[in-house]
Structures are given as C-alpha cells and as structure tokens.
Chain A
Amino acid sequence: MTKKDIFLNGAFRENSVWKQILGICSTLAVTNLMLNSLIMGLGLTFALALSSFTISLIRNYTPRSVRMIAQTLIIAAYVIIVDIILKAKLPDISKQLGPYVGLIITNCILMGRAEAFASKYPPLDSLIDGIGAGAGYTLVLLVISFIRELFGFGSLFGVKVLGSWWTNWSIMVMAPSAFFLLAMLIWIINNKYYKVG
C-alpha cells in the first residue's frame, strides 16, 4: 500500500465516522459551530497522528498483555497536551468545547486506529494513517456543522452570511439535528459509494 493509499483509506474509503461508525459522541456534540468543529477536528488529528506514531514506534517492545493500557496512556498524554495548549492559547474555544477535548481519550477512533493499524505497521505509515483518519473525521464534523451553523445561526465560522430576513431554525442548534443530519449523511454516502452487489 502506498502512502497516498493509506491516507485515502483513512480519510475516505474506511472513514471512521461514516464507514466504521466510530467517534459519534463528539460528532453529535460539537457540531453546532464550524469553528468549534474545526478546532476539535484539528485537536483529534494531532492526538491521533502522534499517538499512532508513538504506538507504532514501540510496537515491537510492547507486551501483548498490557498493550491496551499502554495505548490508552499514550493517547491520554497527547490529548492532555491538546487540552493544555487550548487552555493557554484559545481559552474561549476551550471553554466552549468543555469536556469534549478530554473525552477525545475515549474516542473510539483513536483506540480503533491504534489496534487496527498502528500496532501492526511502521511509524511513518501509522502517522499518515492517523492524519488521514483525523482528516476524515474533521471533514464529517465540518459538513454537519456547516449545515447546522448555516440554518441555526445564519452564519459560517461566525460570519453572518444570511441576511436579516433569515429566521434561525432553533432545532439546528439543538442536539436532535445532529442525530438526523449524521444519519442522513451516513445513509447518502453508504447508498452512493458502498452499494453491495
């Protein structure tokens, strides 16, 4: 598999959200504003890529019996680094994302990629796989938050794009909209690209 294939696989063909249905919790929770989604996506990509790289680096020395503890430890360390940096540099966004940054630790995408890829393949491939999967996750977040912010606030990245004639759909700001938008996205993509037979 070439490096490009690894990236494309992680980001699109085997996309963690729409293909593997992982990381749904944060996809539902932080997608009412595009800026929050972008920061969340970047944070996850950073933690995922570096933890995959590290896990892969020590994979030959990791005893099988404690490998998951080791993976969680490594993931947690990178996530806490993201949290610290957000708190120091972007306090407002850190406040808005609230517990969801810390919850990246329990995001199934990270453990999923660690187990499925990083513990078997060399470090550089794992890093690319992590970036790919992170990009795929960010893409889904941005698509959902694009619709939610546009209809819910009439803005994109906080910039008003719909005029004063626009009536905000409050359902788009609330949690239920994330559920049906994500379901529709998964339905459309699976129907279009993963048709069986």
Chain B
Amino acid sequence: MPESALLEKPAFPVIFIVVLSLVFVGVLAFVYRLNEPGIEKQKQEAYERTVLSLCADSLASLTGKTAEQIQSGYPQSFRDYVKILPDGSFPRKAFEVRFKGRLLAYVFDITGKGLWGTMRALVATDPAKTTVLGVNVYDQVETPGLGARIGEDWFTSQFKRKAIMVNGVPVKFILIPEGQAPTDPTQVRQVTGASITSNAVIHMLQSELAMIAKASGEKKL
C-alpha cells in the first residue's frame, strides 16, 4: 500500500495517536526507571533529615552542639544518634534516639485521616511517650492554602514540649484562633479556615500515641 493511501484511511488518526502514546510512554518509563534510585535516595535522605531535626533540640542540650550543627552533620549525626528499631518493636515504624547509651527520645512514623485523605507525620516523644518533642507532617493532601498549612512551622512547633497524655489519659486540647496567643498549654492555635484539619492533626497525635503506648504496655506484661 502506498504511503499516502495509509494516511488517507479514516482509522489512521487513531492508529497514529495510539502508536505515539506507546512510544512516549515507553520513553517516560525508561527515563523514570533510570532515575528511580536517585529519587528514592533523595526521599530517604529528606525523611532521615526530618527525623534528625525533630530530636535535634534534645540532642543539643546534651551533646554540647547546637541543633543546627547536629542537623548539618547529617548523615554522620543520624548514624551516631538515631537507630531504626526493627519492625514489630512498636505498631508503627519507630526510631530510637540515644546519646552515650542514654535513651533521649523516640520518633514514630504515624498516620491519620485528614479532611481529604491520609496524612503521615513523624512525631518525636520523650522516652515515656507522654510528651511530644516535635512533629512534622511530611505527607498530606489537605486543601492548598488552608488545611495544607498544617505543614508550616508555626503550627507544628506549638506541639513542642506539649504533654499529650497525663496518667494514660489523653489531654483535651482546645482550638483557639490563629492570631491569638495561647494562655494555657492545652490551647492550640488552629489554622484559620481549617478546623477539621487542625483537629485531625491533634486526633492523629493522640490516637496514635495512645495506641503505641498501649501496645508497648501490653508487651511489658
């Protein structure tokens, strides 16, 4: 069949697009596979840096270094102080932070329901798992500009040194407007226009930490 006759066929546009799609999907798959190890490595690195940043303050008070020095010392400082706990130690993926054998903090990879979907966060707690040392919501699909602001520093830093469980009972937190200064440690400044998401973060922290505490309590018995 001469070339022009093929081009005239009514089905030609369909065939053309199908072939073109296949070619480019192939090219993309190839490029992605080629770069996949690099992307995974970057993700892993960002994740480990987050773990380190959450316990940097606690480490700084003991090691004599500043929190910035500990963070910029990655990856060596991560290897020195942080140990990934084997699966099954806790119901969630967990890290142990030690300095000279002394347990300083745990970091848990927790998950909860946001307004639109699952959110994942790293939370550092004291060894008793009752006080939060730091939170970082690293994966979420909340409304951009509203709920997504739970990732901002001013929001997550509110939980620093907050007791989240007292005598095994979760502390009841009260949301206050974003611009207001808290007068009580149980008050949490919420993200304006996103009270569901703000509550979801608190709920995630409480339920996940309670679950982890319960599981580790049962293990001891």
Report the nearest A residue to B14, measured CB to CB. A66
Report the nearest A residue to B8, measured CB to CB. A63
Specify which chain A residues have a CB less than 8 angstroms from the CB of B28 in the assembled complex: 77, 80-81, 84
Closest 7 pairs between A and B when the two form their complex, measured CB to CB: A88-B38, A88-B35, A77-B24, A63-B13, A91-B42, A66-B13, A88-B39
Stretch at the interface among A2-10, A67-75, A105-113, A131-139: A67-75
Report the nearest B residue to A90, measured CB to CB. B42
Report the nearest A residue to B144, measured CB to CB. A99
Mark B65-85 against chain A: 1 for CB-CB distance below 8 A, else 0. Answer: 000000000000000000000
B173 at the interface (CB under 8 A from A): no
Determine whether the beta carbon of B35 is less than 8 Å from that of A66: no
Determine whether the beta carbon of B17 is less than 8 Å from that of A69: yes
Determine whether the beta carbon of A61 is less than 8 Å from that of B16: yes
Interface residues of B (CB under 8 A from A): 7, 12-13, 16-17, 20-21, 24, 27-28, 31-32, 35, 38-39, 42, 46
Question: Contacts A63-B12, A70-B20, A73-B20 given: A84-B35 contact, CB under 8 Å?
Answer: yes
- Could you show 12 A-B contacts with beta carbons less than 8 Å apart? A63-B7, A63-B12, A63-B16, A69-B17, A73-B21, A73-B24, A77-B24, A77-B28, A84-B28, A85-B35, A87-B39, A88-B38
Where chain A touches its partner, the secondary structure class is helix
Determine whether the beta carbon of B35 is less than 8 Å from that of A70: no
Determine whether the beta carbon of A81 is less than 8 Å from that of B31: yes
Docked Cα-Cα span, A50 to B28, in Å, equals 14
A191 at the interface (CB under 8 A from B): no
Specify which chain A residues have a CB less than 8 angstroms from the CB of B32 in the assembled complex: 84
The B-contacting residues of A in range 51-105, CB under 8 angstroms, are 58, 61-63, 65-66, 69-70, 73-74, 77, 80-81, 84-85, 87-89, 91
Report the nearest A residue to B26, measured CB to CB. A77
Give, as a whole number of angstroms, the nearest-CB distance from B196 to chain A: 24
Give, as a whole number of angstroms, the nearest-CB distance from A89 to chain B: 7
Give, as a whole number of angstroms, the nearest-CB distance from A9 to chain B: 29
- Find B13's partner among A65, A77, A85 (CB 8 Å cutoff): A65
Specify which chain B residues have a CB less than 8 angstroms from the CB of A58 in the assembled complex: 20
Determine whether the beta carbon of B17 is less than 8 Å from that of A66: yes
Docked Cα-Cα span, A81 to B25, in Å, equals 11
Docked Cα-Cα span, A89 to B38, in Å, equals 7
Determine whether the beta carbon of B7 is less than 8 Å from that of A87: no
Specify which chain B residues have a CB less than 8 angstroms from the CB of A74 in the assembled complex: 20, 24
Docked Cα-Cα span, A58 to B39, in Å, equals 32
Specify which chain B residues have a CB less than 8 angstroms from the CB of A91 in the assembled complex: 42, 46
Docked Cα-Cα span, A58 to B27, in Å, equals 17
Give, as a whole number of angstroms, the nearest-CB distance from B46 to chain A: 7
Docked Cα-Cα span, A65 to B13, in Å, equals 7
